[in-house]
Amino acid sequence: MKKPYILIVEDEAAIAELVAINLRHSGFECEVAVDSAQAQSMVFERLPDLVLLDWMLPTMSGFSLAKQWRSQIETKLLPIIMLTARAEEADKVAGLDVGIDDYMTKPFSTKELLARVRAVLRRRAPDVVVSGSTLTVGVISLDSVAHRVTAEGKDVKLAPTEFKLLNALLQQGDKVLKRETLQNMVWGHYSDIDERTVDVHIKRLREALTAVSPAASAQVETIRGMGYRLSKSAL
């Protein structure tokens, strides 16, 4: 089995070394980058399975780097665990807003770090396949540049709102999206649409998918009392 490859971005050599030794000992392959520029070039050389990213780095912060990665198609779904000396709630919220997968506040135990790494890898494993500007989950593919959606290889005609909804669901891997989050992602933070409007458009999205592929439609799951999720296969 291929060893998961983890990139450690940390300017404090002692911490980086300690983490690297523990990861290698636990069956991971890992490399260390000492700043954002080096991390950026290493990531484009070879995409890691997960990045441990220190918040406080010289020149460009880990937070800015994470934001940059989330805005690029190749790294949009890169699993990131932020290492931070700051425990302030506001920082965590800011990090979660840019899509950080998890946090470790320094000092942390390597045992806990390993547990979190495994948990994120398990959670993120479900298979969002990225190829150029196309994201694929299960039988559904969406090309954000060509604005094209296919299910089982057949074209799906979607109105702009349904396209944005599907895109938002695809971006999240298999995480559950709350109606409120979907509302913000699709209609913007300052929209005052009713949350039931989200349900209406989900219904239209399912109908459009069903017309081409019932299996694709079944991937759009309703999670009672929470929201929606795109599963990788119809269960």
CA 172/CA 229 separation, integer angstroms:
8
Residue 49 or 54: which CB sits closer to Ca ion? 54
Q: Which residue number places its CB atom closest to Ca ion? A: 56
Choose, by CB under 5 A, the member of 4, 11, 81, 117 that binds Ca ion. Answer: 11
Tally Cβ neighbours within 10 Å of residue 62.
26
Please state whether 227 falls in left (phi above 0), alpha (psi between -120 and 50) or beta. Answer: left
**Binding range to Ca ion, per CB under 5 A, among 22-30, 52-60, 171-179, 210-218:** 52-60
**Closest distance to Ca ion from the beta carbon of 63 (Å):** 12
Determine what percent of the chain falls in helix, strand and coil, rounding each to the nearest 5: 45, 20, 35
Crossing angle, helix 195-212 and helix 160-171, to 10 degrees?
90
Q: Contact at 8 Å (CB) between 204 and 220?
A: no
Is residue 54 close enough to count as binding Ca ion by CB under 5 A? yes
**Binding range to Ca ion, per CB under 5 A, among 6-14, 123-131, 169-177, 226-234:** 6-14
Residue 11 or 101: which CB sits closer to Ca ion? 11
Q: Residue 111 is which amino acid?
A: K
**Closest distance to Ca ion from the beta carbon of 85 (Å):** 8
CA 229/CA 80 separation, integer angstroms:
21
| Straight-line distance from the first to the last Cα atom of the chain, in angstroms, rounded to the nearest whole number | 27
**Closest distance to Ca ion from the beta carbon of 115 (Å):** 22
**Closest distance to Ca ion from the beta carbon of 62 (Å):** 8
**Closest distance to Ca ion from the beta carbon of 118 (Å):** 24
**Closest distance to Ca ion from the beta carbon of 106 (Å):** 9
Is residue 62 close enough to count as binding Ca ion by CB under 5 A? no
Is residue 42 close enough to count as binding Ca ion by CB under 5 A? no
Q: Contact at 8 Å (CB) between 78 and 49?
A: no
Residue 107 or 153: which CB sits closer to Ca ion? 107
User: Which two tokens mark 121?
Assistant: 């890898």
**Chain residues in the site for Ca ion (CB under 5 A):** 11, 54, 56
